[in-house]
Structure 1
């Protein structure tokens, strides 16, 4: 158990569990700088650091760093408007992201890692982030994971701990999971690791052969058959003769 301080700096006597405050990797993740060249692989192409190991909680990683993190839980960070985001399908199974606004980018639901302050909310805004004052829909309180963490200083009802719903097994593993293991990376002929084009989603291979983790969701259209059915010509009949 750990004591949380009140906003004025005094110890408010409120005791929160470590689970409520988030896993050990959350604060290092929020403080990490991403999308910089990897210092360990400066001479390799596509060495941008957009990965984070939840087990090591160290600096950001590039794809070439992954073999050193075999069997670790690694997540991928993406960018939207020069801000770091993570997919809900990755982080939503690890922490409670309630009260944080989600967005849909490239057909994927995401949340921002840190706040994006607005100096002056637009006209007609009725709700803003409780930390950075960014305009929000009325159903949300925070614009990012970092802002929710800040709000926990004075609101004891906030938590990052996932509470299993009634009748639901918390470890059922249901839902999609965009995190990956270095064992599933596909090595290219040049000795690197293959990255997807648009969002650099890592492609992997499995025991049944190489495939991509960004497989199309909609079924493919069946090929059009060019064979026309044969039409059998009927027996001709003479028209009746009227005398």
Structure 2
């Protein structure tokens, strides 16, 4: 991680040079969700709140002396730290950083995630710093990657950091920050619906879904009628083939009842 050296003590909170302000330096290098030493006997003592004014991490039991400070809740998904996009956008320009939607809120990753192989391919979009695969039109997979790119290409973050003197902390919505595995992160914009018959959700092809559903229904009917000697595999087929294979449910020519 190409993070510049810490500024001197005379520039604890702001640095007019090419380095990072103290609060951002600590945010990008601090390890969150460690147990609080002061409240090690208390429950839910993970340090998942960051005080921008004191540049320290806090557990929920440490909040009282910092209620008037700018507090940022850190959330975690699969061992990676994320923050809400709304909060991050008050502090730094998040343009071109890929966001994800979880629990009805957009989040962004704070740090670059380790990779075991090169993700760059011959086609497609990838992070300008770490080559991680991205959706168009994003350029960075995390705040750290964008900051490293700006420092390397422009030499400073001038014009990309915002003055935020007030960052409200919603204690009523405060939680442990753990995004469970059933809260799947989905890239922003990948979930969409259409008013027509071809609408999709989460990138799933609705035609394929219809074909699978119809195939399953036919197999179920065959099993119930006993015409199949063995279970039939549920294989997806094109919609046209499925519709052709469906039984014709139209009634025959109506017959008059005999007259007596």
Query: Structure 2 residue aligned with 1:65, among 47, 59, 62?
Result: 62
Corresponding position: 1:180 with 2:169? yes
Aligned to 1:75: 72
Aligned pair count reads: 164
Query: 1:117, 1:133 within 8 Å by CA — same for their partners in 2?
Result: no
Alignment partner for residue 102 of structure 1, among 99, 102, 108?
A: 99
Tell me: CA distance 1:76–1:198, structure 2 relative to 1, closer, same or farther (3 Å): closer
Deviation at 1:42, TM superposition (A): 0.3
CA distance in 2, matches of 1:77, 1:180: 12
**Aligned-partner SS, 1:120:** coil
Distance 1:43 1:97, change over 3 A: same
Q: 1:157 to 1:36 in 2, by over 3 A?
A: closer
Whole-angstrom CA distance in 1 between matches of 2:150 and 2:136? 19
Residues of 1 paired with 2:98 and 2:64: CA distance? Answer: 34
- Say whether the 8 Å CA contact 2:74–2:177 is kept in structure 1: no
Change (3 A) 1:22 1:61: same
Secondary structure of 1:111 counterpart: strand
Question: Deviations 1:128-176 (Å, cap 9, x if unpaired)?
Answer: 2122211112312211111111112332298464589xxxxx99x9xxx
SS at match of 2:87: helix
1:132 aligns with 2:130: yes
Detail structure 1 runs of 4+ shifted over 6 Å in the superposition: none
In 1, Cα distance between equivalents of 2:83 and 2:34? 17
For residue 61 of structure 1, report the CA deviation from its aligned partner: 0.7
- TM-score (structure 1 length as normaliser): 0.57
Distance 1:42 1:82, change over 3 A: same
Structure 2 match to 1:14 = none
For 1:45 and 1:33, locate their aligned partners in 2 and report how far apart those are by CA, in whole Å. 19
Separation in 2, partners of 1:47, 1:163:
31
Question: What is the distance in 2 between the residues matched to 1:86 and 1:160?
Answer: 22
Residue 27 (structure 2) aligns with: 29
What is aligned with 1:86? 83
Indicate the residue corresponding to 1:113 in structure 2.
110
C-alpha contact (below 8 Å) 2:119/2:133 kept by paired residues: yes
User: In structure 2, the residue corresponding to 1:152 is in which secondary structure?
Assistant: helix
Partner of 2:202: none
Pick the structure with more helix per residue: 2
Partners of 1:34 and 1:163 lie apart in 2 by 23
Return the offset for 1:196: 3.9
Q: Matches of 2:61 and 2:128 in 1, distance apart?
A: 39
Q: CA deviation at 1:77?
A: 0.4
Distance 1:153 1:198, change over 3 A: closer
Q: 1:110 & 1:89 partners in 2: Cα distance?
A: 8
Task: Map 1:195-210; keep pairs closer than 5 Å.
Answer: 196=175
